[in-house]
């Protein structure tokens, strides 16, 4: 185990497309999605300690539980149980991304904790073991552990990694109107209609031809999501504008950083209360 504090980023996740194909008997939904990850996100640090502990700070940390139900601590306990590690860690989470916003949230934090603690505790965790731990924590956690472009099927945890060169470095603007959209109610409002498969091949072309089947039910719960997408499209120079995950964060992809930054400034001027993050894809 290292005596030096370690740091890790919980990279913001976006769903370039998200097709809901069916409701499954176990209560989950059969999905086809294209995951991409941004270069920025929440920040985690961990230092050696006798016990496990978590402190949450940052602009979106207020009101979040740092108790044993937090996914970060659940991930830490699951990693210890799977590997036989007895060490502790003093973990600090800098919550920079909005909560319940469709860009990874607790799943990305849990995934970052797994990467962080494996390094802190100097343990070599087999990929299959890590995937099993992650999948037990949540459907998005395996993709967030990898934090690289991939196609997800099943619950979203059956992953097929994509050619990263097709998307890496693409400028992206994330915008959230500062409303939380819990995942459960959005899925519950899905109309049950299978609108077809997600295309194979080039991920950007597949995304452009695809859709997010959770956007209509999310808009029904929070109509402002439609205003966010419309504001992004109106900026011009946008390759793709869409809601991510179950909302309410929306994203726009650009070919040029300068065009993205113009859009960022325009959104800031027109909607100063909205949260924004100008970043790029990993």
Task: Give a three-class secondary structure readout of 140-157.
Answer: CHHHHHHCCCEEEEECCC
In this prediction the pTM is 0.96
User: In residues, how long is the chain?
Assistant: 282
pLDDT on residue 51: 97
140 as an active site residue: the answer is: yes
Taking alpha carbons only, the member of 136, 40, 127, 53 closest to residue 93 is 53
Q: Look over the chain and give the mean of its residue pLDDT values, rounded to a whole number.
A: 96
Which of these CATH numbers, 3.30.230.10, 3.40.50.300, 3.30.870.10, 1.10.10.10, describes 6-161?
A: 3.30.230.10
Q: Provide mean pLDDT across the span 44-56.
A: 98
pLDDT at 129 over 90: yes
Is the Cβ–Cβ distance between 112 and 73 less than 8 Å?
no
* Continuous segment of H or E residues that includes residue 194: none
Q: Please report the pLDDT score of residue 2 as a whole number.
A: 63
Q: What is the pLDDT of residues 33-46, one digit of tens each?
A: 999 999 999 999 99
Name the pairing type of β-strands 158-161 and 150-154. Answer: antiparallel
Report how far residue 197's alpha carbon sits from residue 173's, in angstroms, rounded to the nearest whole number: 27
What is the rounded distance in angstroms from the CA atom of residue 280 to the CA atom of residue 282? 7
Q: What is the pLDDT of residue 73?
A: 98
- Is 129:142 a contact under the CB 8 Å cutoff? no
Please tell me whether residue 1 adopts helix, strand or coil conformation. Answer: coil
Q: Which two tokens stand for residue 26?
A: 């176990």
What pLDDT is recorded for position 156?
Answer: 96
Tell me whether the CATH fold assigned to 6-161 matches the one assigned to 167-280: no
For residue range 71-108, list pLDDT tens digits in order. 999 999 999 999 999 999 999 999 999 999 999 999 99
Whether the CB-CB separation of 54 and 112 falls below 8 Å is answered with no
The whole-number pLDDT of residue 94 equals 98
> What is the structure's pLDDT at 4?
67
Q: In 39-90, which residue ranges form alpha helices assigned H by DSSP?
A: 71-83
Instruction: State pLDDT tens for residues 227-261.
Output: 999 999 999 999 999 999 999 999 999 999 999 99
Conformation bin of residue 281: beta by default, left when phi > 0, alpha when psi is -120 to 50: beta
Best CA proximity match to 246, nearest among 215, 280, 207: 215
Residue written as token pair 């419309």: 230
Residue 67 is predicted with a pLDDT of 97
pLDDT tens digits along 162-214: 998 889 999 999 999 999 999 999 999 999 999 999 999 999 999 999 999 99
The answer for residues whose C-beta is within 8 angstroms of residue 9's C-beta and 6 or more apart is 40, 41, 42, 43, 44, 112
Confidence (pLDDT) at 264: 98
Out of 13, 42, 95, 157, which one is annotated catalytic? 13
Predicted confidence at residue 164, as pLDDT, reads: 81
What is the distance between the alpha carbons of residues 213 and 198, in angstroms, rounded to a whole number?
11
What is the model's pLDDT at position 58?
98
- Residue 38 CB burial class (10 angstroms; 0-12, 13-18, ≥19): buried
Model confidence band, residue 5 (pLDDT cutoffs 50, 70, 90): confident
Whether 3 shows a pLDDT value over 70: the answer reads no
CB count, 10 Å around CB of 127?
Answer: 9
- Which tens digits make up the pLDDT trace of 139-165? 999 999 999 999 999 999 999 999 988
Find the catalytic residue in 40, 42, 94, 140.
140
Token output for 54 = 């978590």
- CATH class, domain 167-280, is alpha beta
Average pLDDT for residues 269-280, to the nearest whole number?
98
DSSP 93-139: EE--SPSSSSS-THHHHHHHHHHHHHHHTT----HHHHHHHHHHH-T
Domain boundaries, the chain: 6-161, 167-280
């Amino acid at each position: 185990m290292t005596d030096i504090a370690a740091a890790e980023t919980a990279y913001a996740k976006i769903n370039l497309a998200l097709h809901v194909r069916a409701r499954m008997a176990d209560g989950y939904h059969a999905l086809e999605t294209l995951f991409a990850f941004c270069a920025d996100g929440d920040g985690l640090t961990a230092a050696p300690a006798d016990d496990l502990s978590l402190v949450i700070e940052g602009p979106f940390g207020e009101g979040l539980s740092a108790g044993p139900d937090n996914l970060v601590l659940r991930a830490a306990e699951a990693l210890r149980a799977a590997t036989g590690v007895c060490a502790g860690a003093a973990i600090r989470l800098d919550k920079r991304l909005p909560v319940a916003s469709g860009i990874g949230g607790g799943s990305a934090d849990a995934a970052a904790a797994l990467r962080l603690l494996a390094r802190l505790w100097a343990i070599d965790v087999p990929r299959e073991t890590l995937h099993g731990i992650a999948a037990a924590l949540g459907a998005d956690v395996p993709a967030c552990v990898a934090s690289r472009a991939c196609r997800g099927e099943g619950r979203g945890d059956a992953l097929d990694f994509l050619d990263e060169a097709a998307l890496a470095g693409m400028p992206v603007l994330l915008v959230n109107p500062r409303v939380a959209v819990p995942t459960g109610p959005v899925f519950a409002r899905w109309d049950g209609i299978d609108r077809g498969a997600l295309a194979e091949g080039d991920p950007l072309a597949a995304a452009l031809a695809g859709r997010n089947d959770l956007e209509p039910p999310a808009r029904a719960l929070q109509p402002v999501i439609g205003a966010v997408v419309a504001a992004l499209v109106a900026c011009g120079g946008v390759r793709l504008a869409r809601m991510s995950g179950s909302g309410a964060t929306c994203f726009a992809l650009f070919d040029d950083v300068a065009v993205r930054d113009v859009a960022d400034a325009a959104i800031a001027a027109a909607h100063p209360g909205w949260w924004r993050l100008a970043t790029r894809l990993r």
